[in-house]
A and B are shown apart, each in its own frame.
Chain A
Amino acid sequence: MSPTKSGESSAIDVDERATPDRRARAMDPARSPASGDRAAGPPASPAIHVVGLTKRFGDTIAVNSLSMTVRRGEVFGFLGPNGAGKTTVVKLLLGLARPTGGEALVLGAPVGDRETRREIGYLPELFRFQALLTAREVLGLHCRLLGVPKPAWAQEVRAALQTVGLLDRGDDRVGTFSKGMQQRLGLGVALLGTPALVVLDEPTSALDPVGRHDVREIIRGLRERGSTVFLNTHLLEEAEQVCDRVAVIDQGTTIATGSLDELLGRHSRVRLKVGGLGENWWTALGRFGQWHRQDEWLVVDGIDPSRIAALVSELVARGGQIEAVIPEHETLEARFLELLGRR
C-alpha cells in the first residue's frame, strides 16, 4: 500500500506555470501541500521542490520555467517525449548543470549541496563504470565515496549485489558485463547507503523483460522502505505500473501533474449490459452521467468512479438483470498523446 495516496491533490494540475505569488508560497516548504507526507520528523520538506526552473543553451530553451513538487516517499514518474528536457532537469536537480533561472530544493537543500548528495542515489541514463574493476570493487569505491563506515562495506556491497541479481558476478570485471548487467550494477550503486531519494534516469532502457520486472520490484521495495523515487522514463507502461504520481513535460515545461487516476480520469466511463429494464427506466438515473446506447451496451460517460456500485444497485432495484459491468479508462499512452497534442 502506498503511504502517499492520502496526501494527493484532488485535481489534475494542467499547465501549472507558477505565478510569482504562487512561487513565493511554494518555495516555503512549511506551507507546501506536500508537507508532512511521509518524512520521519521535521523538516517535512518535499523530496524535490522546483519553481520556475529554467535552463538555456544559447538561444535554445531546454527547460522553461518548470515547476513541480515531489513528495517524500512517493514514486514520481517524469514523462515526456524525446528532447522534452527530462534529462536536463535531472542534471539540474543533481547539480551537474547550473540553472539559468528559477529555484530548486532537493531534500530541503539547494541543488548540488554536498551533504545532501549523501542521501541521493542516482542512476544516470548514459554512464559507464571503470571497466577494469570488479563489480564488488565498484560498489566498494562508492561506499568509500559515500562515507559508509568501512566495517559496513561488505554488507552493503553484498546487499546491493543481491538486490540487483549480480551476486554470482560480483568478482567479475565490469568490462565483461553486458549492457543490461551494467545497468543492474548502476542500480545497485544507486541503492548504496539507503538513500532517501533515488533518481533513476531511464533505468530499464538496456534490460530484458525479466530485468524490467526486477527493476519494478526494486522500485516498489524502495517505496515500501520510505524512499522517494524520481523515475525519468519514456516507457509509459513502466510509469503506469509503479508510479504514484507523474508529471508530463514537453518543450521543457510541465503540461500536467497528478496521480495516474487523476491524470487518466479512471473509470470515467462505464459500459453495462443489462436486461429486464422497463420503460423510462433512465429518467431517475441521469444524475450518474450521460447515457447513450452502443449496440447492446449502455454507456455512461463522466461517471464518478465511486458511484458505479450505487448505479448497479439502482439498476437492480429497477428490475435490471446485470450481465456485465466494464469500467473503462484511458491508457496513459492515449492521455499522453492527447496532452502533447493539446499544446
Chain B
Amino acid sequence: MTATLAIAALTMREAVRRRLLLAFIAITTVIVGLSAWGFDRLSHTHSLTSGETNIAVPQALILFMFMFSFVIALSASAIASPSISSEIESGVLITIVTRPIRRTEVLIGKWLGLAALLALYAGAVCALEFGVVDWASGFVPPNPVLVAVYLFAEGALLLTLALLLSTRVPVIAAGVVGVAVFGAGWLAGVVGTLGSALNVAALRTVGQIGRLVVPTDGLWHAAIYYLQPPSLIAQHLAEGGREDPFFAQGAPSPAYLLWVACWFVIVLFAAVASFDRREL
C-alpha cells in the first residue's frame, strides 16, 4: 500500500510540476468566463419569456457540460496513454520495477494519481461553471455533485482504458484508440437514440450494446439527468419524451451502475495482468 501511495503521489507531483492542472484550469477559466457572459445575456434577454428562459438555461448548460465532458474524457486519455509505454521506452520504469514492489502497485498507483487529478479537474470545472450559471441566471442543477461524479466517471473510464492500452502499445496509438473509443461510444448512443426515435429495433440494440461495451455515453446521460430541472423533464415528456443525445428520462439503473463498476474492475485487472506479463 505504501508503494502504491508513493507512486500515486509521484504521478500527481509530476503532473503538477508539468503545470498540467494549471493549464487546464486556466483554459477552463477563460471558457467559463465567456459562458458567464452568454448565460447573463440569455437570462436577461427580452425575446424570451421567463418560462422559456427556465428551459433555455438548463439546455444551454447541458451543451456546455457536454463540451466539458469531451475535454475531461480526452484529457484522461491524453494523460494516461503515455503513463506506462513512454516510461518503458525512456527507461524511467526500469528503475522503479526493480525495487521490492509489485508491478500491480505501480499500475494502481499511477491509476490513483491520474484519477485524483481527473477528479480535481472535474470538480473544479463543475464548481466554476455551476457557480457562474447560478450567478448569471439563478439556476442550480438538481444534483451538482452527482453531475461532477458522473463526468469524472466518464473520464476515469477512458483513463482506465488508455492505461490498459499503454501497457502494450505506443503512446500515440493508445491516445488515438482512446479518442476513437470515446467517439464510438457516443456515436453508438446517438444511433440508439435514432433507433428509438424511428422505432428501428436493430439501431436500438446497437445503442444498448454500445452503452455496455463502452459505458461513456451511459455515464454522460446519467450526468445529464442530474443537470435537468423537473420543468425541462416535464416539457420533454409533454412533447412525446423521445430520446435525445442531450436528454435523459431517468437516472441510471442500479444494475447499469453495477455493470459500470464491473467494467472498471475488468479493464483495470486486464491492465495489471498485461503489465505484469510484459518483459522490460
Contact = CB atoms under 8 A, between A and B. Distances in A.
A321 B143 CA distance: 106
Given A129-B92, A130-B92, A189-B95, A91 B280 contact: yes
A127 B95 contact: yes
Contact of A96 (B3, B90, B102, B280): B280
B34 to A, nearest CB: 32
Interface stretch (A140-148, A262-270, A333-341): A140-148
B14 A144 contact: no
Interface in B89-108: 90-92, 94-102
Interface residues of B, number: 22
B98 A130 contact: no
Among B10, B98, B102, residue most surrounded by chain A Cβ atoms (within 10 Å): B98
B100 to A, nearest CB: 4
A329 to B, nearest CB: 38
Given A96-B280, A145-B3, A145-B96, A128 B90 contact: yes
A237 B114 CA distance: 47
Among B91, B94, B100, B279, residue most surrounded by chain A Cβ atoms (within 10 Å): B100
B49 interface: no
A114 B95 contact: no
A169 interface: no
Contacts of A120: 98
A192 B91 CA distance: 19
Chain B interface, DSSP helix/strand/loop, else mixed: helix
Contacts of A141: 6, 10
B280 A128 contact: no
A127 B92 contact: yes
Interface in A111-163: 114-118, 120, 122, 124, 126-130, 132-133, 141-142, 144-147
Contact of A127 (B6, B94, B279): B94
Nearest to A132: B17
B46 interface: no
Contacts of A186: 95
A98 interface: yes
Contacts of B279: 91, 96-98
Nearest to A123: B95
B91 A126 contact: yes
Given A114-B100, A117-B100, A132-B18, A145 B6 contact: yes
Contacts of B280: 91, 96-97
B99 A128 contact: no
Contacts of B3: 144-145
B2 interface: yes
B249 to A, nearest CB: 47
Interface in B1-34: 2-3, 6, 10, 13-14, 17-18
A133 B179 CA distance: 30
Nearest to B3: A145
A94 interface: yes
B102 A124 contact: no
Nearest to A145: B99
Contacts of A95: 98
Contacts of B96: 145
B98 A96 contact: yes
B91 A127 contact: yes
A94 B98 contact: yes
A141 B99 CA distance: 11
Contact of B97 (A96, A118, A129, A130): A96
- 9 nearest A-B pairs in the assembled complex, by CB-CB distance: A127-B91, A145-B99, A132-B17, A117-B100, A97-B279, A118-B100, A96-B280, A128-B91, A128-B90
Given A97-B280, A127-B94, 20 more contacts: A91-B279, A96-B94, A97-B279, A114-B100, A114-B102, A117-B98, A120-B98, A122-B95, A124-B91, A124-B94, A127-B95, A129-B92, A130-B14, A132-B18, A133-B10, A133-B13, A142-B95, A144-B6, A147-B100, A186-B95
Interface of B: 2-3, 6, 10, 13-14, 17-18, 90-92, 94-102, 279-280
27 contacts: A91-B280, A96-B97, A96-B279, A96-B280, A97-B279, A97-B280, A98-B279, A114-B102, A115-B100, A116-B100, A117-B99, A120-B98, A124-B94, A126-B91, A127-B95, A128-B90, A128-B91, A128-B92, A130-B14, A132-B17, A133-B13, A145-B96, A145-B100, A146-B99, A146-B100, A147-B100, A189-B95
